[in-house]
Structure 1
Amino acid sequence: MRSYQDPCGIARALDRVGERWALLVVRELLLGPRRFTDLRAGLPSASPNVLSQRLRELEDAGVVQRRALAPPVAATVYELTPRGRDLEPVIVALARWGSRAVPLPRGELSPSALMIALRTTFDPGALSRGRLAVVLDGEPFSVEIARGALSVARGEPEAPDATITTTARTLRAVVFAGHEPRGVEIAGDAALATRFLGAFARPAPA
């Protein structure tokens, strides 16, 4: 790995996670473990070789680790180490800072990226509590709102108040572009789900 050879903490951090794609790999793992194929789907512009290299570098830096799932799954997943999870406030702060950057590039958000975007643009005055399952492109996420704060994790929540099923593209258009919720399926507490869909704001351009 290349190094800045600078003792500053910022430089030492960038020595470990400053290479192209590295922080986006962390983004994809922030909500839970992923297989290599899942990471490829979430980062389609990264070549398999580059993605493999970044994963090796992040493993060497103690940010990412591999884990073998028990049979019958028999798959290997990548997940953040405790030190890797310490990057969460950094990622969230970068997401908030970058959300105001213009122009907005073309392209779609991965389900993980979209759920992090929801977290960083949530209006705490719009909804104070609730538990929702959000299923994007077949992938479930657990959304918990308590005391005006929103948390997200990969996987299905227990006994959600409402379930929203759609695609990442559709949800992004509804939440951030004000489109009608066509193609959005709601089960359970429809009023809660509707308030949830309206609880996010597009940050003003910087």
Structure 2
Amino acid sequence: MKGERTYDDPCGIARALGLIGERWTLLVIRELVFGPKRFTDLSRGLPAMSQNVLSQRLRELQRIGLVRQRKLGPPASIRVYELTELGAELKSVLVAIGRWGSRIPLDAAPTASDLSVDALVLALVTTFDAAIAGDLAVRCELRFDDDRFHAEIADGRFAVDRGDASRPDVIIDADSPTLRSVVFGGRSLEDAVATGDLRLNGSAELAGLLVRCFPRPTPALTLPRTPLAADRKEKKEHGLDT
């Protein structure tokens, strides 16, 4: 790999970082965790990443056997990228990193970008609280424009994957920022529905119980705020943050 990262250390962690420690690499893998994507879809999920860098990362990931490219059959006849079996094993790694990282205060790493659809769905996986779910049983379809995910809570577990749900109890149709604001931002489901930002089909009661199963993690540490974060806080305190 051009510019391959090496640590001169035989530890398995060092060997793994030699392959996936390059900037953007794990985020590219994140975008493929729930299934294959076209290049344009990958680029849309990583708007801050240039297409040239994305192409380079994809070539590197194919070379080391974590990603492959294949052509979908008719009527689509398009090329997509997908994780290989070895690449798919990184899902549990990403979940663990996401669960750990979700406890880092947002002010420590301010950003104007929102979560991609796949990043938001992965955030649901990392924040699911079985104790809150209790004996809740619900089958849900999450719709983000043409993108579909089937999600289910049962027996204290949360499972989600790309694709239509079979006989869902509830269908939640919204964009990523709206659903994020409801699940993690304190916005009520009722308000999102009333404004038309979120469309709900099926049991509103089950939908309300479902979105409460993903509490925002309590920060595990306090990090020094960056100048940008401090500036944003000051503007907010003075009513200047729009």
Structure 1 residue 87 corresponds to structure 2 residue 90:
yes
Contact 1:135 1:166 in 2 (8 A): yes
Q: 1:195 aligns with which of 209, 216, 221?
A: 209
User: What's the counterpart of residue 227 of structure 2?
Assistant: none
Give matches, 1:138-149, under 5 Å. Answer: 138-149=146-157
User: What's the counterpart of residue 63 of structure 1?
Assistant: 66
User: What's the counterpart of residue 19 of structure 1?
Assistant: 22
Secondary structure of the structure 1 residue equivalent to 2:131: coil
User: What's the counterpart of residue 10 of structure 2?
Assistant: 7
Name the count of aligned residue pairs.
Answer: 206
Larger Rg over CA atoms: 2
Secondary structure of the structure 2 residue equivalent to 1:125: helix
Q: Distance in 2 between matches of 1:123 and 1:189?
A: 21
Q: Which amino acid aligns with 1:105?
A: P
Structure 1 residue 44 corresponds to structure 2 residue 47:
yes
What stretches of structure 2 of length at least 5 have no aligned partner? 221-242
Give matches, 1:104-115, under 5 Å. Answer: 104-106=109-111, 107-115=113-121
Q: TM-score, normalised by structure 1?
A: 0.95
Q: TM-score, normalised by structure 2?
A: 0.82
Q: Which moved more, 1:82-91 or 1:124-133?
A: 124-133
Structure 1 residue 96 corresponds to structure 2 residue 133:
no
Structure 1 residue 118 corresponds to structure 2 residue 132:
no
What stretches of structure 1 of length at least 5 have no aligned partner? none
Summarize deviations over 1:155-188 as a string: whole Å, max 9, x none. Answer: 1112111100011101111111111231221112
Contact 1:133 1:142 in 2 (8 A): yes
Structure 1 residue 162 corresponds to structure 2 residue 162:
no
Structure 1 residue 34 corresponds to structure 2 residue 34:
no
Contact 1:126 1:195 in 2 (8 A): no
Q: 4+ residue runs of structure 1 moved beyond 6 angstroms?
A: none
Identical pairs, percent: 50
